[in-house]
Amino acid sequence: MTRVLFVCLGNICRSPTAHGVFLHKVSRSGMADLIEVDSAGTAAYHIGKAPDARATAAAARRGYDLSPLRARQAKPVDFQRYDYVLAMDSQNLADLRDICPADYQGHLGLFLEFAGLSGAEVPDPYYGGDAGFERVLDLVEQAADGLLQRIRTSR
């Protein structure tokens, strides 16, 4: 089993979008029994809350269901469970590095690396309009395809 954790600040916009998109792609690839997907936030602002309604609506327009997801906070124990811990931006990556055990053997990095966009960040759409959520989906879909391909070839 390969386990993937997507992480943003509050776990209500970017990381649940990545979670829902990647889970959908994993299911369609026939690899649902081989890949586990989750998401979390580095901050505790929204623990237990559903994804942002704008993120949920944008995802639904493309056929992704975020409604079952609930926010949680990333914890050091996550590094014992997940093979890939993927941050949406460099600040969240830095926050994850602060809690990452020194002996972690998995992949800790930026999610957009898998879209061939080294050093690029998924922009936070929270304070913007609908176009920001669509842009997040565009980037997440591209990176999700790359990540799925990486996992497929590494098996």
How far, in Å, CA of 5 to CA of 78, rounded? Answer: 8
> Which is catalytic among the residues 52, 78, 89, 124?
124
- The answer to whether 108 and 93 have CB atoms below 8 angstroms apart is yes
In this structure, the strands spanning 84-87 and 35-41 are unpaired
Specify whether 100 is catalytic.
no
Catalytic hit among 13, 14, 78, 89: 14
Q: CB neighbours of 129 closer than 8 A, spacing ≥ 6?
A: none
Whether 97 is catalytic is no
Alpha-carbon span 20 to 39, nearest angstrom: 9
User: How many C-beta atoms surround the C-beta of residue 45 within 10 A?
Assistant: 13
| Active-site residue, selected from the candidate residues 8, 52, 78, 89 | 8
Count CB-CB contacts under 10 A for residue 154.
8
Structural element, H or E, at residue 131: helix 130-154
Phi and psi of 60, rounded to 5°?
-60, -35
Clarify whether 124 is annotated catalytic.
Answer: yes
- Return the active site residues: 8, 14, 124
